[in-house]
Amino acid sequence: MKKILIGLMALVVLPLFSFSQILDPVKWTFTVEQTTPGEATLLLTAKAEKNWHVYSQDIPKGGPLPTMFTFTKSKHYELIGKVQEPKPIVENDPNFGMILKFFADKAVFKQKIKVLDKKDFVVRGVLNFMCCDDKQCLPPNDVEFEFQVKGNPNAIEPVAAKSTQDPAVAVQADTLKTTVMALAKADSGARKIEQAKLGKTDADKAADQSLLWFFLISFLAGLAAIITPCVFPMIPMTVTFFMHDTTNKRKARLEAIVYGISIIVIYTVIGTLVAVTLGANFANFISTHWIPNVFFFLIFMVFAASFLGMFEITLPSWIVNKADKQADKGGYSGAFFMAFTLVLVSFSCTGPIVGALLVKSAGGAILMPIIGMLGFSLAFALPFGLFAFFPSWLSGLPKSGGWLNSVKVVLGFLELALGLKFLSIADQTYHWHILDREVYLAFWIVIFFLMGMYLLGKLKFHHDSDIPFISVPRIMLAIVVFTFVVYMIPGMWGAPLKGLSGYLPPTTYQDFDINAIIKSEVAAINSGAGGLQPVNSLCDKPKYGDFLKLPHGLDGYFDYKQALNCAKQQNKPVFIDFTGHGCVNCRQMEANVWSDPKVLKRMRENFIVTALYVDDKTELPENEWITSVYDKKVKKTIGKKFADLQITRFNVNSQPYYVLLDTAGNLLTNPRAYDLDVDAFVKFLDTATDNFKKQQK
């Protein structure tokens, strides 16, 4: 048992360390060759790790950032020509879809200089480069360099310049220059440290929040499973089984503990198997393709029908009987098989809940199924351990009866509502428009209205018991459900419904939005009267703009290159939103952060807004297909193209992910992930704007 638990902990902990690796595959060294006093050759050597390469100085537009060298001007030397580079490899780079020049393993760049000073001096400067391997590309990086150069004893002193220049002015100029360089160097170093620090914090923070919330949801699902008709009656039965040996209560309690731990292990192993066998690549297929999403929708409908009493989902009896025979042997092995028997017998009630959790987790990271089953099983096993230690509590349990079936029916209504989410994802991803936002809301309003009527006893199924009166908890729950129904009704006419933003189709997926109509009319009146004009008018018609929209009436693009071209024309930074139709956190960010007036004003006025959908299934024309450097596969759809861009350029595959770039495609500040802190997002936008202005100066 101890070995199993240690193994499970390793499965959870080790991937966390692997996610925090910082890649630094290219090392630079700087040396000087000086065969004659009057001339020196500066050698800038790049050594790349296996499979990594550095690009040439000669790169066509639309490709990666070329390697660039900037030397600080000085009276001590003079550059002779340009930086010379070795013979490059010239091949098609599938990451950028063009023929490019690059260097693998080692590349020595050479810059000749004329030595003008008798004394020894230092040549300073900075180089900027970008590197890629066969799986990913790293963002551009700056490297500062220094060369110690020996003086030329034959150099001629610049007498005229020396006699005419005021020494005080010269000192002041040198001091100012040194100060500016020091400040620039300090600012550059601080920004790099802060970016690295913020990057790790944002990514870890988003991942931690996502896993924590999923653990809590799974834990609550485990508590809900306890009060189902298949599980609740078994609590006193199983605990009594362990307490039958009154002569050795300590042993009985240890067996009960093994029983509870066995339940946790069984469910966690199921989650681990899902994670290992399916993995992250399969998760992308599950979360975006129409086949698994429609399949999961149908599965949820079947589960709902079972909970509502249409039929029972049971496992074959021979499986249950075999496990039961092993449990009769007693001892610790018997406790394990008793737990296994409970898992099998309760399948008709826990199966839909466990299935829903695994379906939900399959669309996320590899840790999701493990975390989900750990949370579910922990809550599920909790009462058995507690009642085994405190058997007197059993007398306080409510008796089994019709109320258990009512719990099951309520869960059935919830399964109906949640199952629509999968059909909605497929609908948005493929632009079927059979489940627009108002249609989706209409289904939810009807489902929860019927749930409220059921709680009031106005709706009854054939296996329900007669209700002579309505209990106070039941009427309170009915009030909550009907309040929820009333809350959803304004959404039929375009109300944002921020509390449900992650579970509903976006407002851009609604046919009738009264807010959008009013804004459009006001804009038309202002325009006709010579009033306010759109602040961020676009350079040209957005590609894919006929079926993709930005929220809150924002104008923008849905193609990276088109947005970058417009940014150059308008001299504005680019706001890139890596998003998805099925991204719950993306909708929450749009509803709760983007909608804030401070954020919306900055996005509209200061940036070229771009939404890149990583799960859109629209087929691209063949001349726009790319072959990924990450997995060597041809990307033929909008979603796959931009998902590959996010992975290869930023080494991230989660959404939402916000990137702010200058007109050359370079980072202005550290990217951000999911975070509902509005003030932090405003600071994120302002930092990029300030850096862009400094760059222009």
In a domain? residue 202: no
The answer on 322 and 222 residing in a single domain is yes
CA distance 531 to 525: 8
The answer on 504 and 379 residing in a single domain is no
The answer on 343 and 460 residing in a single domain is no
Tallying the residues shown for the chain, one arrives at 697
The answer on 297 and 416 residing in a single domain is yes
In a domain? residue 75: yes
CA distance 412 to 228: 11
CA distance 71 to 51: 30
SS3 69: strand
The answer on 387 and 463 residing in a single domain is no
Q: What is the pLDDT of residue 556?
A: 93
Pairing relation of β-strands 141-149 and 106-115? unpaired
What's the token pair of residue 54?
A: 């550095």
Q: What is the pLDDT of residue 481?
A: 96
Total domains in the fold of the chain: 4
Alpha carbon distances (Å) from 207 to 216, 294, 653: 14, 27, 12
Sheet hosting strand 121-129, strand order edge to edge: 68-71, 121-129, 141-149
Residues in the chain predicted with pLDDT less than 70, given as ranges, are: 1-23, 62, 94-97, 134-135, 139, 157-210, 227-249, 252, 271-272, 274-288, 312-335, 338, 341-367, 384-385, 388-404, 501-502, 513-536
What's the token pair of residue 596?
A: 């804030």
The answer on 150 and 253 residing in a single domain is no
The answer on 353 and 245 residing in a single domain is yes
CA distance 579 to 595: 16
Q: Which among 328, 477, 507, 490 has a CA at the least distance from the CA of 406?
A: 477
In a domain? residue 239: yes
CA distance 487 to 492: 11
CA distance 581 to 617: 10
CA distance 52 to 66: 15
In a domain? residue 588: yes
Residues 6+ apart with CB under 8 A from 650: 139, 657, 659, 671
CATH label of the domain that carries residue 45: 2.60.40.1250
Q: Where are the alpha helices (DSSP H) in 554-596?
A: 560-570, 584-589
What's the token pair of residue 500?
A: 């449900």
In a domain? residue 21: no
In contact, 287 and 615? CB cutoff 8 Å: yes
Strand partners for 340: none
CATH label of the domain that carries residue 610: 3.40.30.10
Gyration radius (Cα) of the chain, Å: 33
Query: Long-range contacts: 651-654, Cβ < 8 Å, 24+?
Result: 651/23, 651/136, 651/138, 652/203, 652/578, 653/280, 653/284, 654/206, 654/207, 654/365
The answer on 232 and 135 residing in a single domain is no
In contact, 288 and 429? CB cutoff 8 Å: yes
| CA distance between the termini of the chain | 65
> What would the pLDDT profile of 514-555 be if each residue is shown by its tens digit?
666 655 555 555 545 444 444 457 899 999 988 888 988 889
SS3 121: strand
Q: Which among 430, 453, 465, 457 has a CA at the least distance from the CA of 581?
A: 430
The answer on 441 and 393 residing in a single domain is no
CA distance 151 to 34: 10
Alpha carbon distances (Å) from 214 to 134, 275, 586, 681: 34, 15, 17, 24
User: Domain range holding 458?
Assistant: 436-531
The answer on 390 and 253 residing in a single domain is yes
Buried b (16+ CB within 10 A) or exposed e, 413-443: bbbbbbbbbbbbbbbbbbeeeebbbbbbbbe
Q: Where is the domain boundary, 99, 126, 159?
A: 159
Q: Which among 368, 472, 479, 463 has a CA at the least distance from the CA of 412?
A: 463
Tell me how many degrees the CA angle 359-365-370 measures, rounded to the nearest 5: 65
In the chain, % helix, strand, coil (3-state, to 5) comes to 55, 15, 30
Q: Where is the domain boundary, 382, 408, 428?
A: 428
Q: Could you say which DSSP state residue 396 is in?
A: G
In a domain? residue 669: yes
Q: What is the pLDDT of residue 284?
A: 53
Q: Where is the domain boundary, 531, 562, 586?
A: 531
CA distance 45 to 26: 10
In contact, 200 and 20? CB cutoff 8 Å: yes
The answer on 262 and 147 residing in a single domain is no
In a domain? residue 514: yes
> What would the pLDDT profile of 253-296 be if each residue is shown by its tens digit?
777 778 778 888 887 787 667 666 654 445 555 556 778 778 87
Q: How far is CA 681 from the centre of its chain?
A: 16
Pairing relation of β-strands 39-48 and 106-115? antiparallel
The answer on 322 and 293 residing in a single domain is yes
In a domain? residue 2: no
Q: How crowded is residue 64: how many other Cβ atoms within 10 Å of its Cβ?
A: 23
Q: Residue 148: exposed, middle, or buried by beta-carbon count in 10 A (0-12, 13-18, 19+)?
A: exposed
Q: What is the pLDDT of residue 437?
A: 87
